[in-house]
Amino acid sequence: MKKYSNNDLILSAINASKKSYSPYSKYRVGAALLGASGKIYTGCNVENESYGAAICAERTAVVKAISEGEQKFVALAIHGSPHEPKPNQTYYAFPCGICRQVLSEFAESDLTILIAHSESNYLERTLAELLPDSFGSDNLE
Ligand code: THU
């Protein structure tokens, strides 16, 4: 199985962000989700004229993975920036609350999440750090 580095995953997220359909927010997001099988699933944000119908990059990647039969995940890289980034500004695109909750449905709390401005400038978190005290299946028992 091919091993991916943080660098590879971040590059995939940056490339995915280039496919973003974001004419309304003018903010591109790309996500790259590494499955336990070793395959990377990418996603971008896809907006809609009816604004609430937009889907985030992270959930695009999760939905692609699940629909292809991958249900275990190792790491996620996210890259986001405005269509016209300000020079010398660092952009960290943290996952929104809905995406954190959707990730928690499928990923373990130790999922690595890389919030990347670039390949060399990124923050590393776990899902547990980004979604503490979460609602999960335990609550339904
Ligand atoms: N967005 C994402 O793709 N992921 C997030 O976690 C936060 C926000 C997108 C949604 C919308 O297209 C744009 O960023 C601005 O909110």
Which helix (H) or strand (E) is 27 found in, with range?
A: strand 27-35
Eight-state DSSP code of residue 116: E
Ligand 1: nearest atom to the Cα of 54: 12
Sign of CA dihedral 46, 51, 53, 56: positive
pLDDT digits (tens, 9 = 90+) for 124-141: 999 999 999 999 988 999
Looking at beta carbons, which pairs linking 47-54 to residues 24 or more positions away fall under 8 Å? 47/21, 47/22, 47/23, 49/24, 51/24, 54/24, 54/25
pLDDT digits (tens, 9 = 90+) for 57-94: 999 999 999 999 999 999 999 999 999 999 999 999 99
> Where are the extended beta strands (E) located within 37-104?
40-44, 73-82
Share of the chain above pLDDT 70, in %: 99
pTM: 0.97
**Ordered domains of the chain (ranges, CATH):** 6-140 (3.40.140.10)
Tokens of 26: 């003018």
- Tell me how far the alpha carbon of residue 84 lies from the centroid of ligand 1, in angstroms: 16
Higher-confidence residue: 1 or 121?
A: 121
Atom 4 (ligand 1): residue with closest C-alpha? 56
Ligand 1: nearest atom to the Cα of 99: 6
Atom 10 (ligand 1): residue with closest C-alpha? 56
Please state at what angle helix 57-67 crosses helix 6-17, rounded to 10 degrees. Answer: 110
Ligand 1 within 6 A of CB of 45: yes
In this prediction, residue 1 carries a pLDDT of 59
